[in-house]
Amino acid sequence: MAYSIFITGGASGIGLAMARLFAERGWFVGLADIDEAAMARAADTLPPGRVSTHRLDVRDREQWDEALTAFENSAGGQLHVVANNAGIPLGGDLAENSTAEIERCLDINLKGAIFGAQASLPFLRRTAPDACLLNTASAAGIYGTSGASVYSATKFGVRALTESLDGEWAAHGIRVRSLMPAFIDTPLLAHTPNARSNESIRQRVLNAGLEITPVTEVAEAAWQAVHGDRLHTLVGATARRMAFAARWMPARLRKMARAGTQPLGR
């Protein structure tokens, strides 16, 4: 039986890396993105006959139903994994963030993930127990990140969504998992933290002496998460250090946050 995975934010970065790995391992892949041109270019890099593309604004609940139905039909009537991966960065002090930036970050990162989960349920119930909802959270969902309060709030929300649905959907035989990457080598690092900044996220990471993890490591982590039993999968040394500190050295982590040295994840 051929398995299938539907990936939001699939035109680039983590989403595209996941798509390539799963397609190479025989899965049928659905790329979903709001950028149709980039999505078409991404599809051309995947094995022929193993991909379909679907324009999707994750903030639109009705578009979710339409895209998932179309993908299920393209995949031979079965949808096994939905990767809630679409997301955008937002950094800077809360006072620097505009209302429009805050609303966009909340809508895409959190509301989009909630809509995706809600829309996915009837499709995943049909393929359970071979079904999984995979949410892309962040190391910023481990401990609140100074200079990225809104982004951290969305990723804590994705973490909470994962934990809640892990319990709620157990009766349906659906696995719910999350990825918690730190800084990953994707186009998002070229963005500025917010509209008032002129320094890229990548430069801030490098200036802080932090590592940037290859995106292929996240794709492999996604594969392991889908097939394993770990609720949250940490990706990258920074994510692992933050999780360790949050559990065993919370006072030190709080001190780092107050000093403004704690980094933004993903």
Mapped to the 3 state alphabet, what secondary structure does the chain carry? Answer: CCCEEEEECCCCHHHHHHHHHHHHCCCEEEEEECCHHHHHHHHCCCCCCCEEEEECCCCCHHHHHHHHHHHHHHCCCCCCEEEECCCCCCCCCHHHCCHHHHHHHHHHHHHHHHHHHHHHHHHHHHHCCCEEEEEECCHHHCCCCCCCHHHHHHHHHHHHHHHHHHHHCHHHCEEEEEEEECCECCHHHHCCCCCCCCCCHHHHHHHCCCCCECHHHHHHHHHHHHHCCCCEEEECHHHHHHHHHHHHCHHHHHHHHHHCCCCCCC
Q: Select which of 151, 156, 169, 183 is catalytic.
A: 151
Place of tokens 């186009």: 187
The amino acid that residue 157 corresponds to is G
Active site residue 143: no
Catalytic residues: 151
